[in-house]
Structure 1
Amino acid sequence: MPSSLTPSNDVVGLIMAAGYSTRFGADKRRAQLTEGQTLLQATVAMTRSVFEAFYVVLRSDDEERDLGLGTEPVIYAPEEPIGLGTSIAAAFQHLQVDNKDATAAAVLLGDMPWIKPDAFSELLSHATEDTIIRPVYDGNAGHPVLFGRDFWPELANLHGDLGARTIIRKHHSACRLIPVSDVGVLRDVDRPEDLSVL
């Protein structure tokens, strides 16, 4: 995806890609897009254009090459059966050790490769250590969600299938909703028909 952004070195990207694609009926990470990439490869390409440092979060039984990944840094979520909370916790446990200088981390979903550079630029401009930044399109909150460093210890303690919503609710006063003009912040893939162009 072409981007006019200079990749951020203050915010690290986390691609959450450890789910089981239950509603999709197959491994949606491998679903082919018209551009010749898989869904996950397209999300990785988008993320690489925005973040100087990023990680792909996978299941412990995944093989990067089978998913069409190359040298991208990977964090493996250790528990089975896995839930989104488990994946997020594994990612932030790693970040607390490996990314000591980052201001915030952007939690991206592996099935959302259509976010435009302008939306990222707007979100990144608001990132601080003590805020949670979330895009809003047409009144609906989307992804990525940028968590300031102050919230990383709590994110590292999530478990099971509970995602980060509990932390967003708990720290509602620190959450800033940023209007963007990009429907890509809402467009994910749950079922095969979601791959059709909007």
Structure 2
Amino acid sequence: MKKQESVGKIVKTFQKERAFNGVVALILGAGTSSRMGQTKQLLKYKESYLLEYVIRRILSFNFSRVFTVVGYEAEKIQHLIQIDDSRFQWVVNLDYRKGQSSSLLKGIRSIGKSQSSVMVFLGDQPLISKNTISLILHKGIDQYALTPNQPFVIQPSYQGTPGHPVFFGNLHMIDFTQLKGDRGAKKIIRNMDVWNLIPVQDQGILLDIDTPEAYKRVIHFHES
């Protein structure tokens, strides 16, 4: 009996290690910044650019790869934001005007078949706490160990409202080709058999920067 329990623990440990090694991060930062009036990816934030801050924050976690999708002002962004990390890769979405869904699909298609899961971040959300990122990452890994052959979604929620980052488990079993427009993967998520919302006390999962007013609020939130 004890031998069977030991074997079971070894299998679960192996599954968790495999899941952890198979998780990549995908950052969406291809938008046109139409409501901002300037390239929001290059707004100043904490002595760096906004998108750069988000990228470096995510690279501080042990993701196997970190992909960042850009489109609008892609060349300028890649020139000004220099990332020296072998795990990092830019992905250029030439169809960025078709909305966030096109960037998500472009990013998903850039992920290799050996990667089992992805955590999707937005490039204009710098206030998500590290505790939240770690929580969703490990909840996803735990779920993968329970359902290694079934697609699932793990997502944080603040006061009942879902936010980012979104963990897609067994992503190659999910049909992302149905993505359209600027609503991201909401329809796909809501049709998942396994969709776990994790309550967090973190407004940062909902606070993005789309307008000058939102930028001021985020800066004030950070300084307060």
User: For 1:91, what is the secondary structure of its paired residue?
Assistant: helix
Question: TM-score, normalised to structure 2's length?
Answer: 0.75
Question: What secondary structure is seen at the aligned counterpart in 2 of 1:78?
Answer: coil
What amino acid does structure 2 have at the position aligned with 1:42?
A: Y
TM-score, normalised relative to structure 1: 0.84
Equivalent residue, structure 1, for 2:189: 168
Which of 44, 51, 56 in structure 2 is aligned with 1:40? Answer: 51
Q: Any idea what the Cα deviations from partners look like across 1:119-159, whole Å, max 9, x if unmatched?
A: 11211122125210110122221101111124664125524
Q: 2:136 matched to which residue of 1?
A: 123
SS of 1:105's partner is: strand
Match of 1:17 in 2: 29
Q: What is the 5 A alignment of 1:1-198?
A: 9-33=21-45, 35-50=46-61, 51-59=63-71, 62-63=74-75, 64-71=77-84, 72-79=88-95, 81-95=97-111, 98=112, 100-127=113-140, 128=144, 130-150=151-171, 153-171=174-192, 173-195=193-215, 196-198=219-221
Computing the radius of gyration from Cα coordinates, the structure with the larger value is: 2
Give yes or no for contact 2:27–2:122 (8 Å, CA) kept in 1. Answer: yes
- Structure 2 distance, partners of 1:147, 1:167, is 11
| Residue 45 (structure 1) shift | 1.0
Distance change in 2, residues 1:152/1:57 (3 Å): farther
Once residues 65 and 139 of structure 1 are traced to their aligned partners in structure 2, the CA distance between those partners, rounded to angstroms, is 36
Question: Equivalents in 2 of 1:132, 1:82: separation in Å?
Answer: 24
**Cα RMSD for the two superposed structures:** 2.1
Which whole-Å CA distance do the structure 2 matches of 1:23 and 1:151 have between them? 34
Q: CA 1:152–1:105 in 2, change beyond 3 Å: closer, same or farther? A: farther
- In the alignment, the residues of structure 2 paired with residue 144 and residue 69 of structure 1 have an alpha-carbon distance, to the nearest angstrom, of 23
The share of aligned pairs that are identical, in percent, is 31
Farther off after superposition, 154-163 or 113-122: 154-163
Question: Which is further off, 118-127 or 152-161?
Answer: 152-161
Aligned partners of 1:183, 1:134: CA distance in 2, in Å?
Answer: 14
* 8 Å Cα contact 1:92/1:153 also seen in 2: no
Asked whether the equivalents of residues 19 and 82 of structure 1 are also in contact (C-alpha less than 8 Å), the reply is no
Report deviation, 1:162: 4.1
Q: Bigger CA drift: 119-128 or 55-64? A: 55-64
Change (3 A) 1:81 1:182: closer
Could you tell me how far 1:36 is from its partner in structure 2?
Answer: 0.5
Q: Following the alignment from structure 2 to structure 1, what is the Cα–Cα distance between the partners of residues 167 and 83?
A: 25
